[in-house]
Structure 1
Amino acid sequence: MALRKDLDGLRVQLPGNPAVYLVDAGRKRHIPDPATYNNLFRDWNGILQDIAINEIDTGTPISVGAVLAQGFGDPAVYLIDNGIKRHIGSPATMDRYNFAWDKIQHVAPILISSIETGPAIVWPE
């Protein structure tokens, strides 16, 4: 197994297997269900199926109900996942990860500030 930071932001799947993973910080992270997938991503297009995903280190699964969030009046967008917020570093990162701009939840800034901060998501690193 290996860290594959070169694949960060890509969604991968074994052919014939319904499980979809997001490569994040070099590790594949299982996306738990279609509802969570739809909270985060633009569409189901572009999922790579011809890659040896078993050779990629496994990371913490994405939590059920993970969302993209932004405080009113704050340009920063976060992935809220497993009880932490991770700043999405740029529009290029949003695009690389196929995150959906139109699915960002707009909330009171105090809600964002009350969530523990994790490492930023930045591409390229």
Structure 2
Amino acid sequence: MLRRTCSTLIALLAAVILGTAAAPAALAAAPAADAPAVQPAQVRPDLNGLRVKGVNSPAVYLILDGKRRHIPNPATYNNLFRDWNGIQSVLDVNAVDDGGPLSDGAILGKSPSGPEVYLISNGIKRWITSPAAMDKYYFAWNKIVTISPVALYSIPTGPSIS
């Protein structure tokens, strides 16, 4: 009983500190002692390439590196993806570990002198290794921006996307 009460108080305190809407839920009846524990967020590489949103939330995420990456606004979404089709509504986007947001204005870029396409976000470029990877992530071929080789190669390189 004491453990349940402490858990409820910790959840309430976290909600107040973080300013989340979880405070009313923390005040709800405590779960039964035999109820399964809430699972922590997990890294889910099996979901890579999906675009997801919560059932009752407008926020859209890309699953990349097995983590959810918030797409900060429609303009950034439109820079990267073919269209708004195929976004999956899920009950708990928080079940996937948070990998931080894509940067506002993230783009797909390439040099005019090479075929490699990169996702450029958060100050790094990540090589998209194949047409299959472009399709898996639903990236838009017609939205690739040509960047001068000097500018492109001055951007630090992050892990490849496959």
Instruction: Report how many aligned residue pairs link the two structures.
Output: 122
Gaps of at least 5 residues in structure 2 are 1-40
DSSP-derived class of the 2:89 partner = coil
DSSP-derived class of the 1:49 partner = strand
Does the Cα contact within 8 Å between 2:72 and 2:102 map onto a contact in 1?
yes
Tell me the equivalent position of 2:81: 41
CA distance in 1: counterparts of 2:92 and 2:138, whole angstroms = 21
CA distance in 1: counterparts of 2:114 and 2:91, whole angstroms = 38
Higher strand share: 1
Tell me the equivalent position of 1:95: 135
Higher helix share: 2
Deviations 1:68-113 (A, max 9, x none): 0000020000000000000001100000100000000012111110
% identical aligned pairs: 56
Does the Cα contact within 8 Å between 1:86 and 1:121 map onto a contact in 2?
yes
Shift in CA distance, 90/51, structure 1 to aligned 2, threshold 3 Å: farther
TM-score by length of 2: 0.73
DSSP-derived class of the 2:138 partner = coil
Does the Cα contact within 8 Å between 2:79 and 2:143 map onto a contact in 1?
yes
Does the Cα contact within 8 Å between 2:82 and 2:139 map onto a contact in 1?
yes
Question: Radius of gyration: which is bigger?
Answer: 2
* Superposition CA RMSD, Å: 0.9
1:69-88 to structure 2, matched below 5 A, reads 69-88=109-128
Detail structure 1 runs of 4+ shifted over 3 Å in the superposition. none
**Could you say which structure has the greater relative contact order, defined with CA pairs below 8 angstroms and 6 or more residues apart?**
1
CA distance in 2: counterparts of 1:92 and 1:60, whole angstroms = 25
1:1-125 to structure 2, matched below 5 A, reads 1-50=41-90, 52-122=92-162
CA distance in 1: counterparts of 2:106 and 2:132, whole angstroms = 21
CA distance in 2: counterparts of 1:90 and 1:51, whole angstroms = 31
DSSP-derived class of the 1:9 partner = coil
Does the Cα contact within 8 Å between 1:12 and 1:51 map onto a contact in 2?
no
Deviations 1:37-94 (A, max 9, x none): 0000000000010353221000020000000000002000000000000000110000
